[in-house]
Amino acid sequence: MKRSGRFREQDLAALQEFVTDYPVAKAYLLYGGSHRLKFGSIEVVPLQEAIKYWLPLIS
């Protein structure tokens, strides 16, 4: 998770390693921006969007 509205592809490195080790896992980077993006199998999701979607599921 990144609070910043910006991120670099370097910020995805640990997630890319995780996905390599666990290929069935879904990887997400939550960030403070406003656009949903995808880098390979990693989904980059705005934090506000993630909260609206996931919070009701865990409550």
Residue 35 placed within a domain? yes
Q: Provide the CA 15 distance to its chain's centre, in angstroms.
A: 9
Residue 28 placed within a domain? yes
- Look at residue 35 in the predicted model and tell me its pLDDT: 92
- Look at residue 2 in the predicted model and tell me its pLDDT: 62
Structural domain span for residue 30: 9-58
Residue 33 placed within a domain? yes
- Look at residue 8 in the predicted model and tell me its pLDDT: 80
Number of structural domains in the chain: 1
DSSP code, position 32: S
Residue 4 placed within a domain? no
How does pLDDT run along the chain (59 residues), one tens digit per residue? 666 677 788 889 999 999 999 999 999 999 999 999 999 999 999 999 988 887 777 76
Q: Residue type for 27, please?
A: A
Residue 1 placed within a domain? no
- Look at residue 51 in the predicted model and tell me its pLDDT: 87
CA distance 22 to 54: 22
- Look at residue 39 in the predicted model and tell me its pLDDT: 92
